[in-house]
Chains A and B, each alone.
Chain A
Amino acid sequence: MSESVWSEQGTSPGAIEAALRDLLKERHAAVEAFVPARVLNLVVVVDREWRGEIANRLERVGRYHPSRTVICEVERGRETMDAQVTIGSEDELATGELALGRERVLVEIGDSHVEYVDSIVDPLVVTDLATVVWAPHGHREAVNSLLKLAQVVLVDSLDEPSIDAALERVRELAERCYVVDLAWLRSTPWRERIAATFDPAIWRRELGSISSVEVRHRPDSQAAALLLVGWLSSRLGWGAGELAAVNGSLRGHLETRSRKAREVEITLRSDERQSAPGLAGITIATSSGMSIALDRGPGGLSAVRRTRDGRESAWTVLGASRGEAGILGEGIRQALLRDPTYAPALRCASSLVQ
């Protein structure tokens, strides 16, 4: 990997943009096979003291690296703007291989710049590419400002102080742009497996008679569990209901219009043993006596199914864990796709904790 670097203290967006253009020319001249990646712009707003952690997370995103990353590092009290531009590409290439460029712009700004940060970032993003904003340390003011030029906001509902605040913030953002929620993406393998479990004709009939759902989650990942229940509720047309805290869990009942099961008992239970953010397991039972439990296990999800005659069968649903870097990478990839089921799931989830 070789890089071209430019930096300047007390700089301006115009100077940074000029540097980007110059460095692109320089890379083209230096590496014959150089081509700039043109996937999306990722604008990240971070606190200066936590920048290392975020840099590490971005580094591990691997193949989902966006084409241009603009990192706005906010330092309390700073009044000037410093910047560094890096354009890098692989230089050990096989014949015919392309040297795909990675462009990174680091802009150090003060808190006084945050309200109008869009005017700093606007000249630095590649026109006509989707722009994604991610502010892992809050910075609502900056996100609101950047919504003028961004189409997608990356959030993690687990980062918000409370579940109500998390869902409220996401709902507010969803009215203005497309939201990719990492908490939702953590539930993707679970949603896929639940859908697969009920896909064979014999099990699909049971969807109408679900009588209880228990979701187990890491203590700080209640939002992910709630979104999963919101998804089931929105997809299966369950009625309104509310969850209340009972002995550290959230519990409640949702109405259904099914003749087989008039209501669904919902439990969100915190699991202290779960180390990674997100879900630990789910058990779904039906009024006919069938149940399926999925839990994290070696090599994938451990599944246990009980049929109405009491027979039990266990197996492993294969799949490698994506890890937190994989989740962030998936978030960046999803920014270019549209999931029509998130917004209804969010609405249902919000109604459960109002």
Chain B
Amino acid sequence: MATVEQRPIAAEEENPLTEGLERLPVHPTTLVIFGATGDLAKRKLLPALYNLAHEGALPERFNLIGVSRADRPHEDYRALARESIGSHSRHEPKDEVLDSLLEHVRYVPGTFDDPAVYEQLERTAAEFDEEAGMAFNRVFYLSTAPAFFPMIVGKLGERGLERREGAEVRVVIEKPFGTNLEEALALNRDVLDVLDESQVFRIDHYLGKETVQNMLAFRFANGMFEPLWNRNYIDNVQITAAEDIGIGTRAGYYDESGALRDLVQNHMLQLLTLLAMEPPVEFSADEVRDEKVKVLRAVKPPTTEDVPDMAVAAQYGPGHSAGEDAAGYLQEEGVPGDSTTETYAALRLEVDNWRWAGVPFYLRTGKRLARKVTEIAVALKPVPHLAFRQQGSVGVQPNQLILTMQPNEGVSISLGAKIPGTRMRIRPVNMEFLYGTAFLSQSPEAYERLILDAMRGDATLFTRNDEVEAQWRICDPIVSAWADRGDALPKYAAGSDGPHEADSILRHGHKWRAI
């Protein structure tokens, strides 16, 4: 019989019982949600916690404390949580599991600047510790407006809640991490005055999506693409995040933010870094993030004068969507009639390093476009000589590799193929792979993965301070140039592929893929 030698197991050694388990243990945790009655908490965080509980993935002991302004008893908050979970959970809630989860839910009312809130918070968390006879890890989730981030972190520090002997304390911060470089630097400074960077988990839920993580698997688990993955074979890259809907009820937020801050500065630059990064030595938080930051540093920030040549902003006007009339942005409820906020942004960036020098990376995002799609199109260079030209092969196109994130996650490659017949005529065909046809598991929601990672202390899928700052160094000059713009904002019709002005940033011979 093969066994390993039995010997005393030291606490610092790896737990031998975790080998082979899909779900690794998470230290008993008390999670505190600031903004516990907000939209994000109700629609995403509370349902994600239930889903984790349902699947047995929460720590073996778990407590939740909700903090919000309204004065309400614990029981009312539990009822709100039950309702939110019932409406938004991926699993049909089972009463027994939900009841057990809610038993360990408490509520602390008050404004975030009130020291009494932190006093009560400390007392409530300590009660959980005392009851269990152990020090729970603490995770503070700031699901609030960004203006409160420095205040809450500062108050946690003042109360001594930023450290805990015998346990870990972590803080999860929702985006946006500032609205420009200056704010991002100030926020990082305020947060890191109180906390160590290893305690800070800046959440960009995009990174929690299976589809985005699959990019790493696609690039680094397959040998066939790496030889092509450079300036010698790749002609250009287009990253598109298009939405067919308008701003809905988010006018207040969106009109302040605009397309660049809403999607480009964070999600789209994340996609760019994952696509362009060098292979990390290992899949650990800092190794991966080091490589991503190198890519961002290789993108030369534009000067204000460069911006008109490499970036286009536009706003949707009235048009047609899904066969019906669609209002323009200025006609949307809650939008000021003279708003100059961009609902579309297109950029041309270059990654100035050995691998990518000279390859344009085109990024575009917009609301009320023709279709909802998030994809990366990698266009290869054309073959050096086309022997079939005389045969009428005008349809030959350079190969394209398309990585689709949504709506149907997959990979497709366009190849030239012979048209059946007596002549050697070629046309492009698609070789398509859809993840949904090949995997049995249902993907967890991004928030489930990220909450669990934060509780476990794995920061791989979170944004580091230098990453945020590098993102802003690229976007800040564009934000400034657009703010000082003298000419009118270009318009595009709702339901269209975007403004024709976007063509002006394309290099010679390039064109946007149809949305």
Task: Give Cα distance in the complex from A320 to B438, angstroms.
Answer: 26
Task: Give Cα distance in the complex from A343 to B26, angstroms.
Answer: 26
Task: Check A36/B15 contact, CB under 8 A, given A195-B21, A205-B9, A348-B3.
Answer: no
B1, A240: Cβ atoms under 8 Å? yes
A351, B21: Cβ atoms under 8 Å? no
Task: Give Cα distance in the complex from A207 to B91, angstroms.
Answer: 35
CB < 8 Å neighbour of B8 from A37, A65, A238, A259: A259
A102 to chain B, nearest CB (A): 11
A116 at the B interface (CB under 8 A): no
Task: Give Cα distance in the complex from A201 to B91, angstroms.
Answer: 33
A313, B132: Cβ atoms under 8 Å? yes
B11, A299: Cβ atoms under 8 Å? no
Task: Check A233/B55 contact, CB under 8 A, given A205-B11, A298-B96, A340-B19.
Answer: no
B425 to chain A, nearest CB (A): 25
CB < 8 Å neighbour of A319 from B53, B61, B441: B53
Q: Which bracket fits the contact residues of A?
A: 35 or more
Q: For residue B91, which residues in chain A have a CB less than 8 angstroms away from its CB?
A: 320
Q: For residue B23, which residues in chain A have a CB less than 8 angstroms away from its CB?
A: 192
B440, A39: Cβ atoms under 8 Å? yes
B436, A236: Cβ atoms under 8 Å? no
A197, B440: Cβ atoms under 8 Å? no
B6, A237: Cβ atoms under 8 Å? yes
CB < 8 Å neighbour of B15 from A98, A204, A300, A320: A204
B386 at the A interface (CB under 8 A): no
CB < 8 Å neighbour of A300 from B1, B3, B4, B100: B100
Q: For residue B101, which residues in chain A have a CB less than 8 angstroms away from its CB?
A: 299, 318
B19, A235: Cβ atoms under 8 Å? yes
B19, A341: Cβ atoms under 8 Å? yes
B3, A201: Cβ atoms under 8 Å? no
B147 at the A interface (CB under 8 A): no
A67 to chain B, nearest CB (A): 8
Total interface residues on B, using CB and 8 Å? 59
Nearest A residue (CB) for B16? A235
Q: For residue A36, which residues in chain B have a CB less than 8 angstroms away from its CB?
A: 437
A197, B55: Cβ atoms under 8 Å? no
Nearest B residue (CB) for A257? B6
B60, A193: Cβ atoms under 8 Å? yes
Nearest B residue (CB) for A66? B440
A38, B438: Cβ atoms under 8 Å? yes
A317, B13: Cβ atoms under 8 Å? no
Q: For residue B439, which residues in chain A have a CB less than 8 angstroms away from its CB?
A: 39
Task: Give Cα distance in the complex from A342 to B22, angstroms.
Answer: 13
Q: For residue A257, which residues in chain B have a CB less than 8 angstroms away from its CB?
A: 5-7
Task: Check A319/B6 contact, CB under 8 A, given A96-B407, A100-B437.
Answer: no
Q: For residue A256, which residues in chain B have a CB less than 8 angstroms away from its CB?
A: 6
B339 at the A interface (CB under 8 A): no
A338 to chain B, nearest CB (A): 9
A311, B133: Cβ atoms under 8 Å? yes
B134 to chain A, nearest CB (A): 8
- In chain A, positions 271-325 with a C-beta closer than 8 Å to chain B are 298-300, 303, 307, 311, 313, 315-320
Nearest A residue (CB) for B93? A320
Q: For residue A204, which residues in chain B have a CB less than 8 angstroms away from its CB?
A: 9-11, 13, 15
CB < 8 Å neighbour of A199 from B5, B25, B134: B25
Interface SS majority for chain A? mixed
B343 to chain A, nearest CB (A): 22
B354 to chain A, nearest CB (A): 38
Task: Give Cα distance in the complex from A262 to B14, angstroms.
Answer: 22
CB < 8 Å neighbour of A207 from B16, B103, B407: B16
**Chain B 1-41 against A: per-residue CB contact (8 Å), 1 yes, 0 no?**
11111111111110111111111011110000000000000
A333 at the B interface (CB under 8 A): yes
A318, B437: Cβ atoms under 8 Å? no
A63, B440: Cβ atoms under 8 Å? yes
Q: For residue A37, which residues in chain B have a CB less than 8 angstroms away from its CB?
A: 437-438
Task: Give Cα distance in the complex from A256 to B22, angstroms.
Answer: 28
A29 at the B interface (CB under 8 A): no
Task: Give Cα distance in the complex from A319 to B15, angstroms.
Answer: 22
Q: For residue A237, which residues in chain B have a CB less than 8 angstroms away from its CB?
A: 3-7
B254 at the A interface (CB under 8 A): no
A260 at the B interface (CB under 8 A): yes
**Chain B 102-135 against A: per-residue CB contact (8 Å), 1 yes, 0 no?**
0100000000000000000000000000011110
A145 to chain B, nearest CB (A): 26
A239, B8: Cβ atoms under 8 Å? no
Q: For residue B437, which residues in chain A have a CB less than 8 angstroms away from its CB?
A: 35-39, 67, 98, 100
Task: Give Cα distance in the complex from A298 to B2, angstroms.
Answer: 38
Max chain B CB contacts within 10 Å: which of A39, A193, A195, A238?
Answer: A195
A341, B20: Cβ atoms under 8 Å? yes
Q: For residue B62, which residues in chain A have a CB less than 8 angstroms away from its CB?
A: 318
Nearest B residue (CB) for A302? B100
* 7 nearest CB pairs, A to B: A319-B56, A299-B100, A341-B20, A196-B25, A195-B17, A237-B6, A201-B11
Interchain Cβ contacts under 8 Å between A and B, 23 examples: A36-B437, A38-B438, A39-B438, A39-B439, A98-B437, A192-B21, A204-B9, A207-B15, A208-B6, A235-B4, A236-B9, A236-B16, A257-B7, A258-B7, A299-B97, A299-B101, A300-B56, A313-B132, A316-B103, A319-B54, A319-B55, A344-B3, A347-B2
Extra inter-chain contacts (20) besides given A205-B8, A300-B96, A318-B56, CB under 8 Å? A35-B436, A35-B437, A39-B437, A65-B440, A66-B440, A189-B56, A195-B15, A202-B134, A204-B15, A235-B17, A236-B9, A237-B4, A237-B7, A238-B6, A239-B3, A299-B99, A300-B56, A319-B97, A337-B22, A347-B1
